[in-house]
């Protein structure tokens, strides 16, 4: 019983075979799926997936790459959606210094507004952090994001940063790159993260694990990520699946 905590199955890359992709996920032992809505285009279709499939849930948020387009009306809209019983998190939100699509000051402002929203509606936060470790941590501290906590999605930093995130009440989401031979630091994180703070994710259709690296990722591959982490931690796959599913259900308040 695995919990996929971050996927984009409403992405157009799945338009031709979405039902088959979801069936393969079920066959691979994925019992819960959190699909991510992150702007005006993706949120409605993500909610629709959650309404269609009983084992789907969704988040709502504004991605940092799109921060420049976020208006006050959009924040009000996000707030209105949080009453939906399948909306379990605010995200993905955060900072992205790799893609130069939104000025840093605007990213910071939209990030802060959404942390404040998460605290207001008492939902955990899904953090997107690309090349912005110092500013992400600083803003989380200044906004007291530890009050709601959340997950550092697609974690790619080192053990020291992982420990700092955990001290702020955040769990660590590990995806496909942990299976890559050239990611020893992430493998070390996967071994060292406290078991009760570990979450599994694919970020599909992106970042497919070995042996599918460079191809379209899909939720069924959570199992490959779980197998790699179980091997690194020298524990059984069933135990890892049970613990990480329990962690996700607790964080996202799923009974």
Residue 201: predicted pLDDT: 98
* DSSP code string of 132-201: -HHHHHHHHHHTTGGGT-EEETT--S-HHHHHHHHHTTEEEEE-GGGGSTT-HHHHHHHHHS-GGGEEE-
Exposed, middle or buried by CB within 10 Å (0-12, 13-18, 19+), for 69? middle
Residue 214: predicted pLDDT: 96
Please list the pLDDT of the chain residue by residue as tens digits (255 residues): 999 999 999 999 999 999 999 999 999 999 999 999 999 999 999 999 999 999 999 999 999 999 999 999 999 999 999 999 999 999 999 999 999 899 999 999 999 999 999 999 999 999 999 999 999 999 999 999 999 999 999 999 999 999 999 999 999 999 999 999 999 999 999 999 999 999 999 999 999 999 999 999 999 999 999 999 999 999 999 999 999 999 999 999 998
Phi, psi of 177 (to 5 degrees): -60, -20
Q: In what order do the strands lie in the sheet with 170-174?
A: 2-7, 30-37, 56-60, 87-96, 125-130, 150-152, 170-174, 198-200
Those residues whose C-beta lies under 8 Å from the C-beta of residue 207, and which sit 6 or more positions away, are 154, 175, 176, 177, 217
Exposed, middle or buried by CB within 10 Å (0-12, 13-18, 19+), for 54? exposed
Please report, for residues 24, 71, 99, the alpha-carbon distance to residue 151 in angstroms, rounded to integers and kept in the order given: 26, 25, 21
Residue 255: predicted pLDDT: 86
Residue 142: predicted pLDDT: 98
Residue 13: predicted pLDDT: 98
Residue 210: predicted pLDDT: 97
Those residues whose C-beta lies under 8 Å from the C-beta of residue 160, and which sit 6 or more positions away, are none
Contact 32, 61 (CB under 8 A): no
């Amino acid at each position: 019983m695995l919990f996929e905590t971050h996927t984009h199955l409403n992405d157009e890359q799945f338009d031709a075979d979405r039902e088959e992709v979801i069936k393969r996920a079920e066959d691979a032992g994925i019992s819960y799926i959190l699909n991510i809505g992150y702007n005006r285009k993706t949120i409605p279709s993500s909610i629709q997936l959650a309404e269609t499939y009983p084992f789907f849930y969704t988040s709502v948020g504004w991605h940092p790459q799109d921060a420049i387009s976020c208006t006050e009306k959009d924040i009000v809209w996000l707030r209105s959606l949080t009453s939906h019983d399948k909306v379990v998190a605010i995200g993905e939100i955060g900072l992205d210094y790799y893609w130069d699509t939104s000025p840093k000051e605007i990213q910071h402002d939209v990030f802060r507004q959404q942390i404040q929203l998460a605290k207001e509606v008492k939902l955990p936060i899904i953090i997107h952090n690309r090349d912005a470790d110092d500013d992400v941590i600083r803003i989380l501290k200044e906004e007291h994001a530890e009050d709601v906590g959340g997950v550092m999605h697609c974690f790619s930093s080192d053990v020291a940063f992982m420990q700092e995130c955990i001290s702020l009440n955040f769990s660590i989401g590990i995806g496909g790159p942990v299976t890559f031979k050239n990611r020893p630091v992430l493998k070390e994180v996967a071994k060292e993260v406290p078991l009760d703070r570990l979450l599994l994710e694919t970020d599909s259709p992106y970042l497919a694990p070995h042996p599918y690296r460079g191809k379209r990722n899909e939720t069924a591959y959570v199992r490959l990520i779980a197998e790699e982490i179980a091997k690194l931690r020298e524990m059984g796959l069933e135990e890892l699946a049970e613990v990480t599913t329990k962690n996700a259900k607790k964080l996202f308040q799923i009974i």
